[in-house]
Amino acid sequence: MPTPIHTFLATALLALSINASADTAVTLVHAGHLLDRPGQAPRGASTLVLRDGKVLEVLDGFVNPERYAGAAVIDLRNRYVLPGLIDSHVHLTSDRAGIEGQLAGVTDSVAAGAYEAQMNARKTLQAGFTTVRNLGDGNGITLALRDAIARGWVQGPRIIDAGTSISTTSGHMDGRLGYSDWVQHGVATTNLCDGPESCRKAVRMQIGRGVDVIKIATTGGVNSVIGAGVNKQMFDDEAKSLIEAAHLYGKKVAVHAHGASGINLALAAGADSIEHGTLLDDEGVKLFLKSGAYYVPTLSTINGYKERIANNPDAYPPAVRAKIDWRIGITGKALRQAHARGIKIAFGTDAGVSKHGRNADEFELMVQFGMKPAEAIKAATVNAADLLGIGAVAGSLEAGKSADLIAVGGDPLADVSVLKRVAFVMKAGEVVKHQQ
């Protein structure tokens, strides 16, 4: 005869079993068309079986929900379903740039910046981008936002974060550029380095903050408020020490580089990706192919430039405006070359220079400059997941991976622009957007 304690334990175990069953209830997603593994052939009518925020199975046809007791059904039979998109290069802290952004940098509080970053993160997720790699902010906002999203405190994409980007003194990441001397004294410089030992320390400073990836700049930049051009601004031993230190701690290195001299320097030193890569040359192509590094084109920057200049011809200082005009005129040349030669390409927009929530504009530019829609989509899923080191979690819809998926009203393999009109977004099994 059971004792009271046995009865109590049996009741408790039954309650736990019921709760566990409820927690692991299955959701069935009926997809009219499914691109579960970008780069491979799409499927017709299909069912995604989801549980605990992950993909359990991918089945042909519309599975009867009675097969899974208590299963919920999401009807996307009139939609084209594919994995959640990945943007490998964003800056969530602002949409403002030029003189407006420079002013905001010395007038807005860190708290205000945090709210702006969360707003931009939500825009990005609503646009169908369930993962982003944030490549630089100055005060830890996106590191905190990354953790807040992971804890479920706020809504946004999964964030792979670089902390504060690193360059040499007066390089592209020197936040003092363009300000008077008295303002410069209040700008942090722990992300700047000169010489190998100093550069190793700069990497270790970011490692200590808990970053996921290291971002460095080997060349000048379009938005740098100096007229020093976009060629190499770092010595070989400095780049080597930065990349070696990052790899020592198991972190990949994303490198801002426009000029060929800086691209080749970074690739020879072991960079994992080149961002922008505007003046790619034959040597750079050979180094890309030898190293297996990814190219992230960030073509969308020109959209941001054009819009701001149309609204205000004086939106940028003269030294910056000259570089912008050059960047607009040369955009797409490097992508055509990289694509033709078989360099690995990952999708990235540099959103923040372009507008957040409009990340999918990049697809049209990638196709305009030589890629097929299927290749552009693979760059924003399978390839980007590989670059970010999250291929076991995201990039395709396979058993065991996160239930990150989107749905659109047309066939993106025929017309990539449909990705600009995402009707449904799910991240880790949670529906965050569902338009009928």
pLDDT in tens, 27-48: 999 999 999 999 999 999 999 9
- Kindly state whether residues 22 and 78 are assigned to the same domain: yes
Neighbours of 302 (CB within 10 A): 21
Contact indicator for 436, 78 with CB cutoff of 8 Å = no
Tell me, yes or no, whether 211 and 195 share the same domain: yes
Q: What is the pLDDT of residues 56-115, one digit of tens each?
A: 999 999 999 999 999 999 999 999 999 999 999 999 998 887 777 777 777 888 999 999
Average pLDDT over every residue of 347-370: 97
CA angle 433, 116, 310 (to 5 degrees): 95
Residue where a domain stops, chosen among 353, 371, 388: 388
Taking CA 416 as the corner, what is the angle to CA 133 and CA 401, rounded to the nearest 5 degrees?
45
Reported as type and span, the H/E element at residue 183 is helix 181-184
pLDDT greater than 90 at residue 319: no
Strands 273-276 and 253-257: parallel
Q: Are residues 77 and 105 in the same domain?
A: no
Cβ atoms of residues 288 and 266 within 8 Å: no
What is the residue-averaged pLDDT of the chain?
91
* 34 and 129 housed in the same domain: no
Helix (H) or strand (E) holding 244: helix 236-248
Q: What would the pLDDT profile of 251-283 be if each residue is shown by its tens digit? A: 999 999 999 999 999 999 999 999 999 999 999
Tell me, yes or no, whether 226 and 145 share the same domain.
yes
Residues 379-389, mean pLDDT to the nearest whole number = 98
Beta bridge partners of 28: 49, 73
**273 contacts: CB under 8 Å, gap ≥ 6:** 88, 252, 253, 254, 255, 293, 294, 295, 296, 346, 387
At 423 the three-state DSSP class reads strand
Please answer whether residues 80 and 410 qualify as being in contact, where contact means their C-beta atoms are separated by less than 8 angstroms.
Answer: yes
Q: Which two tokens stand for residue 285?
A: 């192509």
pLDDT for position 12? 43
Q: What is the CATH number of the domain that holds 9?
A: 2.30.40.10
pLDDT of residue 227: 64
4 pLDDT higher than 80: no
State whether 361 and 421 are in the same domain.
Answer: no
Query: What is d(CA 389, CA 368) in angstroms, rounded to the nearest whole number?
Result: 28
Percent of the chain residues past pLDDT 70, beyond the cut: 91
11 plus 138 within the same structural domain: no
Which runs of consecutive H residues, i.e. helices, occur in 292-426? 301-311, 318-330, 333-341, 361-368, 373-379, 382-388
Which percentage of the chain shows pLDDT scores above 90? 81
CA-to-CA distance for 330 and 307, rounded, in angstroms? 18
CA distance 92 to 129: 13
Pairing of the two strands 46-51 and 54-60: antiparallel
pLDDT in tens, 174-213: 765 766 676 656 666 688 999 999 999 999 999 999 999 9
The structural domain count of the chain equals 2
- H helices within 1-155, ranges in order? 4-23, 98-107, 110-126, 141-150
The CA–CA distances, whole Å, from 207 to 69, 165, 214, 229, 250 equal: 47, 12, 8, 30, 10
Phi-psi sector, 50: left (phi>0), alpha (psi -120 to 50), beta: beta
- Same-domain check for residues 97 and 75: no
Give the pLDDT confidence of 148-178 residue by residue, as tens digits.
999 999 999 999 999 999 999 877 877 657 6
**Is 287 found in the same domain as 211?**
yes
Contact 114, 145 (CB under 8 A): yes
DSSP E strands: which ranges in 54-195? Answer: 54-60, 72-83, 85-90, 129-134, 158-161, 167-168, 192-193
CA-nearest of 288, 298, 241, 238 to 260 is 288
Q: Is the pLDDT of residue 246 over 90?
A: yes
Q: How many residues does the chain have?
A: 436
Q: Do 154 and 285 reside in the same domain of the chain? A: yes
Same domain? For 47 and 119 the reply is no
Which residue segment(s) compose the domain that 31 sits in?
Answer: 4-84+396-434
What CATH number should be reported for the domain holding residue 90?
3.20.20.140
Looking at residue 17, its pLDDT comes to 39
Same structural domain, 309 and 348: yes
In tens, the pLDDT along 354-365 reads: 999 999 999 999
